[in-house]
Chain A
Amino acid sequence: GQQLNQSPQSMFIQEGEDVSMNCTSSSIFNTWLWYKQDPGEGPVLLIALYKAGELTSNGRLTAQFGITRKDSFLNISASIPSDVGIYFCAGQLYGGATNKLIFGTGTLLAVQP
């Protein structure tokens, strides 16, 4: 199935470091979303972006919707051990028969105390 290009695939960092990950697509999306998945659980929505160029923060998380609507990045500042998990970007198109999300391949984040 179709997937977005997400990088890096994995990151191993020390507690307190900042983290950055990004997602690119050949297609334009109306909405970009970032999810976090803990082991054995479904993904949980972190941030939703609705307008090109939009920059949104949620606590230590900051995400931006690219001007071209084909990319997005997520930053995590001052990482803590509970940030460990897999982070997925997702793009969504509205209209037509579906509002399905297309997901990135994921970034595995490991934080060493």
Chain B
Amino acid sequence: GAGVSQSPSNKVTEKGKDVELRCDPISGHTALYWYRQSLGQGLEFLIYFQGNSAPDKSGLPSDRFSAERTGGSVSTLTIQRTQQEDSAVYLCASSPMGVGYTFGSGTRLTVV
């Protein structure tokens, strides 16, 4: 598509449930990033995929967080056993060679 697409745009879940967030990057972009933005805060790096290389997972806050990227395109961020502190906007971005990110509109996750 023309831009980075994320779904769902909003997700409300009960504490302890698992959630999956989806990102469709711009076609042909080899790099894909996930960031988290808490209320009134900047963007916190979570994970980075580049082509077939091993992902950089250094930003994942706990082992409840995981992400995969299938076929070098769509990516899914999974949060297991959600906690209230996981509430945030989760942003996905893609770029052709690691420069000039294009962000999606994000998924607003609320854990109640």
* B50 interfacial contact with A, CB 8 Å: yes
Q: Does A88 lie within 8 Å of B99, measured CB to CB?
A: no
Q: Does B42 lie within 8 Å of A103, measured CB to CB?
A: yes
Q: Which chain B residue shows the least CB distance to A44?
A: B103
* A-side interface size class: 20 to 34
* B-side interface size class: 20 to 34
Report how far A77 CA is from B41 CA in the complex, Å.
26
A residues less than 8 Å from B58 (CB atoms) = 98
- The segment from A14-22, A35-43, A55-63, A67-75 found at the interface with B is A35-43
Across the interface, A42 reaches (CB within 8 A) one of B4, B59, B95, B98, namely B4
Q: Does A98 lie within 8 Å of B56, measured CB to CB?
A: yes
* B67 interfacial contact with A, CB 8 Å: no
Report how far A106 CA is from B37 CA in the complex, Å.
11
Report how far A98 CA is from B58 CA in the complex, Å.
10
Interface string of A1-20 (1 = CB under 8 A from B): 11110100000000000000
Q: Which residues of A contact B (CB under 8 A)?
A: 1-4, 6, 31, 40-45, 48, 88, 90, 92, 94, 97-106
Top 6 closest pairs, chain A to chain B, by CB: A42-B103, A99-B98, A98-B56, A103-B43, A1-B44, A103-B42
